[in-house]
Amino acid sequence: MKIKIQFIIDSEDQSSTEVIACIEREELTAETLGLTLQEAKTITSEIQKKMIGHQITDFVSHNRFCLCCGSTLSIKGYHPLVYRTLFGKICLRSPRLFSCRCQSQQSSTFSPLVQLLTEHVSPELSYLESKWASLMSYGLAAKLLKEVFPVEIYPSSVYRITSKVANRLEQELGEEKAMFIKGCQRDWNQLPRPDTPITVSLDGGYVHARKGNNRKAGWFEVIVGKSLQEGHQPRRFGYVVNYDQKPKRRLYEMLEKQGLQLNQDITFLTDGGDTVRGLPLYLSPRSEHILDWFHVTMRMTVIKQISKGAMGKDYANFEKQLLRTKWFLWHGNIYQSLDILESLIMDLDLYSENKAHKKYKLWRVVSEFYQYIQSNSHFIPNYGERYRYGESVSSACAESAVNELISKRMAKSQQMRWTQKGAHLLLQVRSKTLNGDLIKSFKQWYPKMDDAHNIPQPLAA
Chain residues that interact with Zn ion, rule: CB under 5 A: 66, 68-69, 100, 102
Identity of the residue, 68 or 316, whose beta carbon is nearer to Zn ion in the bound complex = 68
Identity of the residue, 68 or 397, whose beta carbon is nearer to Zn ion in the bound complex = 68
Identity of the residue, 100 or 373, whose beta carbon is nearer to Zn ion in the bound complex = 100
Residue 69: other Cβ atoms inside 10 A: 10
State the nearest-atom distance from the C-beta of 442 to Zn ion, in Å: 38
State the nearest-atom distance from the C-beta of 184 to Zn ion, in Å: 60
State how beta strands 266-270 and 287-291 pair. Answer: parallel
State the nearest-atom distance from the C-beta of 67 to Zn ion, in Å: 8
State the nearest-atom distance from the C-beta of 75 to Zn ion, in Å: 16
Backbone angles phi, psi at 288, to 5 degrees: -120, 150
Residues 145 and 160: beta-carbon distance below 8 Å: no
Identity of the residue, 14 or 61, whose beta carbon is nearer to Zn ion in the bound complex = 61
Q: Which residues are paired to 16 by β-bridges?
A: 9
Identity of the residue, 67 or 179, whose beta carbon is nearer to Zn ion in the bound complex = 67
Identity of the residue, 104 or 185, whose beta carbon is nearer to Zn ion in the bound complex = 104
Identity of the residue, 69 or 91, whose beta carbon is nearer to Zn ion in the bound complex = 69
Burial annotation 238-265 (CB, 10 A radius, 16+ → b, else e): bbbbebbebbbbbbbbbbeebebbbbbb
State the nearest-atom distance from the C-beta of 141 to Zn ion, in Å: 48
- Dihedral of CA atoms 263, 267, 268, 271 in degrees, nearest 10, equals 180
CA nearest neighbour of 134 among 407, 409, 403: 409
State the nearest-atom distance from the C-beta of 99 to Zn ion, in Å: 8
CA nearest neighbour of 174 among 254, 275, 261, 265: 254
Identity of the residue, 99 or 419, whose beta carbon is nearer to Zn ion in the bound complex = 99
CA distance 311 to 261: 52
Helices (H), 136-277: 138-148, 155-172, 185-189, 247-258
State the nearest-atom distance from the C-beta of 78 to Zn ion, in Å: 22
State the nearest-atom distance from the C-beta of 115 to Zn ion, in Å: 18
User: How far is CA 120 from each of CA 124, 147, 450, rounded to the nearest angstrom?
Assistant: 12, 22, 19
Residues 261 and 191: beta-carbon distance below 8 Å: yes
State how beta strands 109-110 and 88-98 pair. Answer: antiparallel
